């Protein structure tokens, strides 16, 4: 893993105004730069009630050597300057590889149009954000946990050291699970390793198997950063926000309490072995992971007991594979306990107690707030999707122009711009 050597926590930074946005807290000037580790995820083995649903007939992932170590940007010749402004945070869902399958008039069409972007839109968005001077940073580098003079843990905003003129950007990707419904609707099927790099596997509209680096959000960004190394600070890519109920990354690693057969257990064990090198390669190439709950549950309408059970299952089935994470992405953007902004309720306290420190919702800007009563950060992410492409051109102009990006193969639901 690349050492993030270019990041520092400066007490001085508080004096410079460490607001990560207009509503964010400010680090006290005496905050000592002691970084402590989050609580580790439970490392338990998965329960013995496994099941794997019918998976597509996918060729074996070939055994290939690991990817060569990337050459991170910036090199020693690039001058770095402290950055304490807003760190923009934009998130995507999986991207539509085949619009003709996604936008075919079936009952999933509208949801896909609302929440996803197509490959052609995604590529244009990345190019635009690069052209506008954004540079990808690791979400785990934006805040640190420190211990104050009273021995109390709290989160502080780090001063990022970035190349002059660049603007830091966090990308996250929700539901990188390759759900069954996606496979039938124009998305890739899974990530695989070939020739020491990540590729996607899937079927084209005629049913032919396709290995590609041009059809999946992960491999497209990997390729873009290979071609534009100065789009990534120290090799950072994005944070993958994953659930557990249909496995992860295209591998059916989840349990099904209705199928406790030996055959299902064997299939599941095979999928777990198959996904391990994918996870490792993602980590080696700048990707990180976050929790999106096991069952994509709505935290605002779930009891703390339900949230506990769901989170434990996520640790068992997902955390045991992807490793510890401090990041929790609320499904549906729904905040626990009614709100996490003005109160810290029992569900939030529970999630914090098992190691989460950064809690991400969805909003109209890259809002963030360091909570004062508990060691945690809450934040909003902007959403690159069909809804904002159609209706929020102005708000997203800082990243890209919807008019230039919009894929004409989308169905005719109208746009607010002309
Ligand atoms: Zn989701």
The rounded Å distance from CA 188 to ligand 1 centre is 17
**pLDDT for the residue numbered 215:** 98
Residue 349 burial class via C-beta count within 10 angstroms: exposed 0-12, middle 13-18, buried 19 and up: middle
**66-96 exposure pattern, b = at least 16 Cβ within 10 A, e = fewer:** ebeebebbbeeeeeeeebbebbbbbbbbbbb
Closest by CA to 212, choosing from 189, 237, 242, is 189
Q: 177 C-alpha to center of ligand 1: Å? A: 10
Q: What is the distance between the alpha carbons of residues 82 and 10, in angstroms, rounded to a whole number?
A: 10
Q: Calculate how far, in angstroms, residue 293's C-alpha sits from the geometric centre of ligand 1.
A: 9
The mean pLDDT value for 265-282 works out to 98
Cα of 93 vs centre of ligand 1, distance in Å, is 8
Q: Tell me how far CA of residue 349 lies from CA of 134, 142, 263, 357, in angstroms.
A: 34, 22, 39, 10
Per-residue pLDDT tens digits for 124-170: 999 999 999 999 999 999 999 999 999 999 999 999 999 999 999 99
Cα(16) to centroid(ligand 1), Å: 36
| The token pair that represents 391 in the structure block | 């209706």
* Mean pLDDT, residues 354-360 taken together: 98
Tell me, in angstroms, the distance from the centre of ligand 1 to residue 15's CA.
Answer: 38
Q: How far is the CA of 333 from the centre of ligand 1 (A)?
A: 8
Q: How far is ligand 1, taken at its centre, from the CA of residue 297, in Å?
A: 9
Q: Which domains does the chain have, with CATH numbers?
A: 7-405 (3.20.20.370)
> Which of 302, 296, 359, 377 lies closest to 332, judged by CA?
296
Q: What residues have their beta carbon closer than 5 A to ion ligand 1? A: 174-175, 331
**Tally of CB atoms within 10 A around 62:** 9
3-state secondary structure of 115: helix
pLDDT of residue 71: 59
| pLDDT(240) > 90 | yes
**351 CA to middle of ligand 1, Å?**
18
Q: How far apart are the first and last CA of the chain?
A: 46
pLDDT of residue 70: 53
Ligand 1 mean position, distance from CA 241 (Å): 8
C-beta of residue 38 within 8 angstroms of C-beta of residue 194: no
To the nearest whole number, what is the mean pLDDT of the chain?
87
> In whole angstroms, what is the distance from residue 134 CA to residue 168 CA?
6
Ligand 1 centroid, distance to 174 Cα (angstroms): 5
What pTM does this model have? 0.84
* Å from CA of 243 to ligand 1 middle: 8
The pLDDT of residue 266 is 97
Instruction: With CA atoms as reference, report the closest residue to 35 among 138, 150, 153.
Output: 153
- Report how far ligand 1's centroid is from the alpha carbon of 219 (Å): 20
The larger pLDDT score, comparing residue 165 to residue 48, is at: 165
With 50 as the cut, is the pLDDT of residue 52 above it? Answer: no
CA 281 to ligand 1 centroid distance, Å: 23
Nearest to 138 by CA among 3, 331, 304, 20: 3
Q: Is the pLDDT of residue 44 over 70?
A: no
CA 84 to centroid of ligand 1, rounded, Å: 30
Residues in a beta bridge with 5: none
CA distance 233 to 160: 10
In the numeric block, which tokens belong to residue 247? 């496995």
Judging by DSSP bridges, how do beta strands 377-383 and 358-362 pair with one another?
parallel
């Amino acid at each position: 893993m690349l050492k993030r050597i270019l990041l520092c926590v400066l007490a001085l930074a508080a004096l410079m105004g460490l607001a990560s946005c207009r509503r964010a807290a400010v680090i006290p000037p005496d905050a000592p730069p002691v970084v402590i580790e989050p609580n580790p995820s439970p490392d338990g083995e998965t329960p013995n009630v496994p099941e794997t649903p019918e998976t597509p007939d996918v060729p074996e992932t070939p055994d290939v050597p690991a990817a060569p170590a990337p050459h991170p940007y910036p090199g020693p010749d690039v001058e770095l300057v402290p950055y304490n402004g807003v760190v923009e945070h934009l998130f995507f869902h999986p991207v539509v590889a085949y619009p003709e399958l996604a936008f075919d008039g079936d009952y999933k069409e509208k949801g896909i149009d609302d929440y996803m972007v197509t490959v052609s839109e995604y590529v244009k968005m990345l190019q635009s954000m690069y052209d506008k001077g954004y540079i990808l940073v690791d979400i785990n580098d934006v805040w640190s946990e420190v211990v104050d003079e009273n021995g109390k843990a709290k989160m502080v905003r780090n001063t990022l050291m970035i190349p002059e003129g660049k603007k830091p950007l966090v990308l996250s990707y929700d539901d990188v699970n390759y759900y069954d419904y996606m496979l039938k609707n124009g998305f890739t099927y899974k990530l695989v390793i070939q020739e020491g790099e990540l590729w996607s596997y899937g079927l084209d509209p005629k049913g032919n198997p396709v290995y590609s680096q041009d059809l999946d959000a992960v491999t497209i960004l990997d390729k873009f950063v290979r071609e534009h190394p100065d789009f990534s600070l120290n090799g950072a890519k994005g944070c993958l926000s994953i659930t557990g109920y249909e496995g992860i990354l295209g591998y059916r690693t989840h349990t099904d309490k209705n199928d406790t057969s030996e055959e299902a257990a064997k299939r599941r064990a095979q999928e777990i072995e198959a996904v391990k090198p994918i996870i490792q390669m993602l980590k080696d190439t700048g990707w990180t992971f976050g929790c999106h709950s096991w069952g994509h549950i709505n935290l605002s309408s779930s009891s703390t007991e339900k949230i506990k059970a769901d989170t434990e299952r996520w640790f068992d089935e997902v955390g045991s594979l992807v490793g510890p994470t401090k990041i929790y992405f609320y499904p549906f953007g729904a905040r626990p306990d009614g709100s996490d902004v003005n109160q810290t309720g029992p569900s939030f306290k529970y999630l914090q107690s098992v190691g989460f420190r950064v809690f991400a919702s969805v909003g109209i800007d890259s809002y963030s707030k360091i909570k004062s009563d508990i060691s945690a950060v809450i934040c909003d992410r902007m959403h690159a999707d069909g809804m904002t492409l159609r209706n929020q051109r102005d708000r997203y102009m800082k990243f890209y122009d919807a008019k230039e990006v919009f894929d004409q193969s989308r169905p005719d639901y109208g746009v607010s711009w002309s």
